[in-house]
Structure 1
Amino acid sequence: MTSKLYLEIARNAITSHFSPVFIDKDALVGKDPALGEPGAVFVTLTINNHLRGCIGSIIAHRSLLDDIIENAAAAAFRDPRFPSLHAEELDKIIIEVSLLTHPQPLVYSDAEELSRIIRPNIDGVIMRLGNHQATFLPQVWEELNDFDSFFTHLGLKAGIGSDPLTLHPDIYIYQVEKIKEA
């Protein structure tokens, strides 16, 4: 029920940009009180297994319901890597909602120790150095499935280069509950 409801909320948030869809927030919170609590999600859109948009929150800063609605719309219409979703793509997108746990800092001495601590396919990773920050959801391990390439790409995404661990950035991990349309 909950899984289906979160996907329905995300799809309605996107659909509402093309045709009127009323999202009754009070009724939704009545169905699932967790929607009224603070929550952080990423919403990922794919078409034919290719990324079409992905936007989310690392830290809960609004209700779970509002986070799903806002990030679904942002993934569809404001991901700077892609043009806005077109109405004819609406039936082609597959929506995935990832509910994040609160990030926890990791203490590590070097890349070798970090490689022993990090759990591929389980841990999402936030890398932070000064004003630079980036994250990869645990799902990214499916494509970047070895430690070195995962952190090389995360360092590039954060804007701190292809060998970021030599700079000893702050590392945080989190896990997700992934809910995906069939």
Structure 2
Amino acid sequence: MMYTDEEGIFVVKTARRVVEEYLNRRRVPEIEFPKKFEEKGGVFTTISTYPDRNLRGCIGFPEPIFPLKKALVESALAAAFQDPRFPPLTRDELNSVVFEVSLLTPPEEIRVKSRKELLNMVVIGRHGLIAERGFYRGLLLPQVPVEWNWDVEEFLSQTCWKAGLPPDCWLDESTKIYAFSAEIFEEEEPWGRIRRKEIGD
């Protein structure tokens, strides 16, 4: 475990606060981050409708290219206002959405002799995946295959599809598959209690 429950509560509250402040005042609030958040880290912010939990926005940074404090703020704003699948979040929606923050480990390429071995290397509920070939790249978080009840083959196929590639591209040696894990923290209800999300619960 890399992050404490207190740090998890902090990141979710921060994500909501950043979005709220931007909606109300068109600015990003000044936030005092723990020293740990100076370190570079990957993060995704997910916004879902409540209580039906339909996706409302999800954007982040899979690689640790920014200090976590910068990546968190940028991912929260992007999930709320820049996800091309949805219109920008409005002030009226703040009371009917929940925030979830996934703190990621650095992605590592899964290297296998036979592509079929990927079926034994990926663990549902533990791994998120990235499929990459040339300029094409797609990512799915660890919680996604659990929520959709996918097996490993379907998870690999859906990650390829997310990258804009054929679903069976994971069988092609020219496609790189990366795995990562995540610690996930979420609001149980809008403005409500924040908990560590155990994937599959």
**Normalising to structure 2: TM-score of the pair?**
0.83
What amino acid is aligned across from residue 179 of structure 2 in structure 1?
I
For residues 105 and 163 of structure 2, the distance between their equivalents in structure 1, rounded to whole angstroms, comes to 21
Structure 1 residues 36-92: Cα deviation after superposition (integer angstroms, max 9, x where no partner): 221210000100210000000011122111111110010010000011111111111
Correspondence 1:112-131 to 2 at 5 A: 112-131=116-135
**Aligned residue in 2 for 1:89:** 93
Give 1:172's match in structure 2, choosing from 170, 178, 182. Answer: 178
**Aligned residue in 2 for 1:5:** 10
> Structure 2: where are the runs of 5+ without partners?
1-5, 189-201
Mark the CA change 1:22 to 1:157 in structure 2 (over 3 Å): closer, same or farther.
closer
Correspondence 1:100-179 to 2 at 5 A: 100-142=104-146, 143-168=148-173, 169-179=175-185
For residues 156 and 100 of structure 1, the distance between their equivalents in structure 2, rounded to whole angstroms, comes to 22
Residue 22 (structure 1) shift: 6.3
Q: Secondary structure of 1:82's partner?
A: coil
Give 2:80's match in structure 1, choosing from 76, 81, 86. Answer: 76
Indicate if the aligned counterparts of 2:41 and 2:106 stay in contact, CA closer than 8 A: no
For residues 18 and 112 of structure 1, the distance between their equivalents in structure 2, rounded to whole angstroms, comes to 48
Indicate if the aligned counterparts of 1:144 and 1:150 stay in contact, CA closer than 8 A: no
Q: Secondary structure of 1:178's partner?
A: strand
Structure 1 residues 92-136: Cα deviation after superposition (integer angstroms, max 9, x where no partner): 111010000011111123343111111111011111111111111
Point out the more displaced range, 156-165 or 15-24.
15-24
For residues 101 and 54 of structure 2, the distance between their equivalents in structure 1, rounded to whole angstroms, comes to 16
Mark the CA change 1:75 to 1:22 in structure 2 (over 3 Å): closer, same or farther.
closer
> Structure 1: where are the runs of 5+ without partners?
none
Indicate if the aligned counterparts of 2:129 and 2:178 stay in contact, CA closer than 8 A: yes
For residues 159 and 28 of structure 2, the distance between their equivalents in structure 1, rounded to whole angstroms, comes to 38
**Normalising to structure 1: TM-score of the pair?**
0.92
**Aligned residue in 2 for 1:24:** 30
Q: Extract structure 1 runs of 4+ deviating beyond 3 A.
A: none
Indicate if the aligned counterparts of 2:45 and 2:60 stay in contact, CA closer than 8 A: yes
Instruction: Quote the sequence identity (%).
Output: 30
Q: Secondary structure of 2:23's partner?
A: coil
Point out the more displaced range, 16-25 or 122-131.
16-25
Indicate if the aligned counterparts of 1:110 and 1:165 stay in contact, CA closer than 8 A: no
**Aligned residue in 1 for 2:196:** none
Indicate if the aligned counterparts of 1:106 and 1:171 stay in contact, CA closer than 8 A: yes
Q: Secondary structure of 1:24's partner?
A: coil
**Aligned residue in 1 for 2:37:** 35
Q: Secondary structure of 1:11's partner?
A: helix
For residues 122 and 137 of structure 1, the distance between their equivalents in structure 2, rounded to whole angstroms, comes to 10
